[in-house]
Amino acid sequence: MKPDSFKGILCLPVTPFKNDEVDEPNMRRVIEAIIADGCDGLIPTGATGEFTHLLHPERLKIWDITLDVANSKVPVMPGTGAVTTKESIQFTKEALDMGCDGVMLSHPLMQQATDDETYRHFNMVASKVDIPIILYNNPYLGRTMSPAVIERLADEFSNVVSYKEDDFFSLRYNEIIRRVRNKISIFTGSPSAYLAFLTQGAHGALIAEFQAFPHLILGLKKNFEQGNHEKALYYHEKIVEMFSIIDKYFVGASFWGRYKAIWKLRGIDMEYDVREPYTAVKPEQLENAREAFLGLDVTDKWYVN
């Protein structure tokens, strides 16, 4: 595997808003808390950070805040995906110029790109910007990438160092892990698949949920690494329970909105707000879910002072 491949648990923080502007004080508190909780890296302006809803200067502001708070304690690899390759190159160059440690670059957005088009997209960015790249596949944002394209990119570009999977058809991700696990690091995009990925030789989780219940993700990771598979399975089932609670109580709310609500439970008094036209969690939804969430092995360490 390439020596500069990213590993471990990487977290996609939310972007707090206040009066429809980036809420810098709470953004800083979120980043500080995620680092203190033990993440191995930060991915601002991913889908959880509402990257598709941000103005260009807002993306740069969020990166600057994250770099400042991280202060080299953990690597920072912002999402630089965009609808066009030209804009993706621009964002990726700006990330390099700001001193980011890498980027998470999505496949072409909002279109059913062919394998050739997807390859050209990553080829043009990787060739023009010498920065470590995490390939990001998300079928909700465009056509899912083929295993052949992923392997070709891993083979041909020294700065393609990692891959994040958000398509959970098992035969597909099994094939990707088989092809490239010894070439680049592979991350699941959901903690519900983390145990399955680890058992097949993948390397980590690149997820939003770490900011919500970090002890569950760390518990799975540490017990798996120690060979305590029964305890790892226990944490896996707690993660599945977490999703069941979210599905039951946060009906209608956006993906990123639910983690803003959980931050409020943890003690950061950010607004529920998400960018229009998307839907925030309602205060009564969070209150109804409170008791169930607090039953997920929460201790006093979970709360942010």
Active site residues: 136, 164
Handedness of CA 96, 85, 22, 133 (dihedral sign): negative
Closest CA to 40 of 66, 3, 75, 83: 75
Q: Kindly report the number of other CB atoms within 10 A of residue 136's CB atom.
A: 26
Note the helical H segments in 157-254: 170-180, 194-199, 214-225, 229-249
Q: Could you tell me if 76 and 100 are in contact, meaning their C-beta atoms sit under 8 angstroms apart? A: yes
> Are the C-beta atoms of residues 42 and 31 closer than 8 Å to each other?
yes
Token pair of 223, please?
């017990």
Closest listed residue to residue 132, CA positions, set 84, 204, 80, 71: 80
Beta bridge partners of 10: 41, 206
Residue type, 266: R
Identity of the amino acid at 77: M
For residue 10, the one-letter residue type is L
Is residue 139 within 8 Å of 164, Cβ to Cβ? Answer: no
